[in-house]
Amino acid sequence: MDAHAERVRQIAADAKGFHDTKQRWRINHGSTNSTRNQSTKGMSVIDTSKMNHILSIDTEKLSILVEPNVPMDRLIEATLAHDLIPSLVIDFPASLPVQRFSASTDPWFYTHVQARIGHSKGPVVELIPVPEYLFRYDRGSFWVGESILRGDNGACGAIPNIKWTRKLLDPLLHTRMLYAAVHAGGFNGQIIQDIVVPYSVASKFLGWVATEVQVWPLWLCPVRYSANPTLHPFQNPIQSSGPQPQMLNIGVWGAPKVHTFEYWIEINQRLESKLREVGGMKWMYGFNLENDEEF
């Protein structure tokens, strides 16, 4: 810390000296991602490029004290030595490109993954900023936006999913806006159902969905079963004792094979009936077409 204090003292003294003599000055950070002109010709300079030291790591408080020019790769190298990693990674070396999904012309996460898988024979590694990863399915609303552009609901012809159409239609194809459209218009030709079934019957149920509903892709996500009371009056004898069952969330989101209101009603009702048959549950944000007794 003494060396750090001396570096800070020198920078402060230089800044005060230039201020007292009314000299214009610039800061030299060393390596920088700035795109501004970095020329210091004819100007006084305060050099902060040596402020690149990791000062301390507190594994109990999960904090690290660093000087401002510590690059992200060195920061991660230091924290990984303690089995830690920053909760938000801001930057990486240029050799590791960062993939983003938030700009209006960026690819949608779903179509990007399809393209990467199609051109790769092995695992694919990408670096995605944490906020963009957490909301990676917002633009295009998972794959519902792709279904709409293809014209799967029969409402319009196919629209190419290219950079310029994504940019033009971007305000309309975020999840929140698509929900607003559903609320305003009611029937939109899409099946939007989130359901959960025990692992023991998941294969059987998925086989039925593949044959009868024919909506692809399907969202699969393991979920933890809660023995605590919920808003859903769901009780099943297999869950009353012994180990808690593993549950699988299945998202059935997309246009059915027949684009009529009558068929949309029919296939949703059949989906609900099959779900009751296998002892599953559904998220109540989707359309519910059960009668009072079934509900």
Q: Do the Cβ atoms of 59 and 84 come closer than 8 Å?
A: yes
- 3-class DSSP state for residue 67? coil
Where does the chain have alpha helices with state H?
2-20, 72-80, 109-118, 130-134, 144-150, 163-169, 175-185, 199-208, 261-277
Mean pLDDT of 164-188: 72
- Tell me how far apart the alpha carbons of residues 48 and 29 are, in angstroms, rounded to a whole number: 5
pLDDT exceeds 60 at position 100: yes
Q: Which amino acid is at 188?
A: N
For the chain, which domains are there?
Answer: 1-81 (no CATH), 109-183 (no CATH), 190-282 (3.30.70)
**pTM over 0.85, yes/no:** no
Mean pLDDT of 4-32: 84
Largest CA distance in the chain: 86
The model's pLDDT over 241-274, given as tens digits with 9 standing for 90+, comes to: 556 678 899 999 888 888 888 888 899 999 999 9
pLDDT at 155: 55
Q: How many helices (H) and strands (E) does the chain have?
A: 9, 8
Mean pLDDT of 123-146: 79
* Distance set, CA 281 to CA 96, 194, 212, 291 (Å): 43, 9, 19, 16
pLDDT exceeds 90 at position 204: yes
What is the 8-class DSSP label of residue 279?
T
Mean pLDDT of 178-188: 63
pLDDT exceeds 90 at position 215: no
pLDDT at 229: 56
Please give the mean pLDDT across all residues of the chain: 78
Mean pLDDT of 23-51: 68
Give percent of the chain above pLDDT 90.
14
- Tell me how far apart the alpha carbons of residues 141 and 232 are, in angstroms, rounded to a whole number: 26
pLDDT exceeds 50 at position 5: yes
